[in-house]
Amino acid sequence: MPRTPTFTTAERRRRLGRRHLLAPSARTTSAATVADALVGLHATDAATVFLSVAARTTSCTVDGLEREMYDDVALVRLLAMRNTLFAVTRELAPYVYASTARAIAAKERKALLKHFAEDGGGLDAAWLEATEAEVHALLAARGSASGSELAAVSEALRTRITIFPGKRWETVQGVASRVLRVMAAEGRIRRDRPRGTWTSSQFRWTASEPWPDLPAAEARAELARRWLLSYGPATEADLKWWTGWPLTDARKALAASAATDVRLEDGGSAYVAPDDTAPEPETEPWAALLPGLDPSAMGWADRSFHLAPEHRPPLFDRSGNIGPTVWWNGEIVGGWAQRPDGAVVWRLLADRGAKAAAAVEAEAARLSAWMGGARVTPRFRTPLERELSTA
């Protein structure tokens, strides 16, 4: 019987540096290439998409990234894994939708109709269908519009309902954002250029065609295979966490993807993509400053191979969201922030020597130049980020 391959921590870090495009020799020139390499970019915080791309490219500017996203539509935002907003390539989007987003969209529609019924104001599925048709007509005429612009000309979108009537947390809300969220979740409209700069999460909307109706099991297998190529070796618990799938679905997807069984250095079981067991070539030493929620920090449930437990408290908020991080050769060694005057400042939580400190300083300068005059405050603020930003 062939011996089960074993992956050391050093090997996993080498894979991360090359496959996540973080080593300088692995960097690329397009946002779409970055998104595919990471199987999607976290997009809950609009700035994360841009800063994740900036860390992994040699010449992709803000203008260039915006062209890819909004003119070429090479990237689209989907409410997907873990009910979180991701930016993925158009080629990958049908698999993400069928494996994950479609079920989320169904829940969103069901929840909205439940709110209508509880409100008792007469809104129902027929009203929602008519309002969605009106939104499509308005977007067809305008090309794109913000939620407030649509509501200004649509009486239906100005409707207000009572959420959780009779509860202590009862509140009255407008329906516009909820209707648009459902339509976006179903792929019938998509997020277009923001109303402000690239750091803004206030998007305009534009019409879109629904994604192909792929079988869910087939899509999950393909997504698992791609994820393993980027994040393997990884465990079924890692895949379950990253996708938000039930454990049964994660196990079936791994089996259907023909994942290869391997061992980790601590003796635990894990998987890689089919026959993806060859040693990863060495890269040159590398440093990186990654934004909060970057996929390289959020890709696993167990991050012990790149994050020491004692460094977790200053780098995470109370909900488990990671803030801006400093990396050295595949390991999180500190955090960074931007001061109100625009200066990028950082602190190492682990001393990796003068060469590492110099490389981090160079990356901080590169990031500062890339951002230009922009000011970025993470949506989810962590203890170290708050401290550095005000120091």
**pTM summary value:** 0.94
pLDDT of residue 3: 79
Q: Are 260 and 284 in contact (CB under 8 A)?
A: no
Helices (H), the chain: 9-19, 31-37, 46-54, 62-66, 93-96, 102-119, 125-142, 147-153, 176-185, 216-231, 236-243, 247-256, 295-298, 312-315, 354-371, 383-390
Rg from Cα positions in the chain: 22
> CB of 13 within 8 A of CB of 6?
no
- Domain ranges, ordered by start, for the chain: 93-207, 287-390
Contact assessment for residue 90 and residue 73, using Cβ atoms and an 8 Å cutoff: yes
Per the rule left: phi > 0, alpha: psi between -120 and 50, beta: everything else, 176 is alpha
Q: What is the DSSP string of 21-34?
A: T-SGGG-BS-HHHH
- pLDDT for position 2: 64
Q: In the prediction, which pLDDT does 139 show? A: 96
- Distances in Å between the Cα of 183 and the Cα atoms of 78, 106, 146, 209, 363 are 11, 11, 14, 11, 40
pLDDT by 10s per residue, the chain, length 391: 567 899 999 999 999 999 999 999 999 999 999 999 999 999 999 999 999 999 999 999 999 999 999 999 999 999 999 999 999 999 999 999 999 999 999 999 999 999 999 998 899 999 999 999 999 999 999 999 999 999 999 999 999 999 998 888 889 999 999 999 999 999 999 999 999 899 999 999 999 989 999 999 999 999 999 999 999 999 999 999 999 999 999 999 999 999 999 999 999 999 999 999 999 999 999 999 999 999 999 999 999 999 999 999 999 999 999 999 999 999 999 999 999 999 999 999 999 999 999 999 999 999 999 999 899 999 999 999 999 999 7
Residue found by looking up tokens 């089960």 in the block: 4
pLDDT of residue 166: 85
**Smallest Cα–Cα separation from 220: which of 255, 254, 253?**
253
Choose among 198, 261, 233, 240: nearest CA to 68: 198
Q: How many other C-beta atoms lie within 10 A of the C-beta of residue 3?
A: 6
Structure confidence at residue 149 (pLDDT)? 95
Question: Is-contact 182 101, C-beta < 8 A?
Answer: no
What confidence score (pLDDT) does residue 4 get? 87
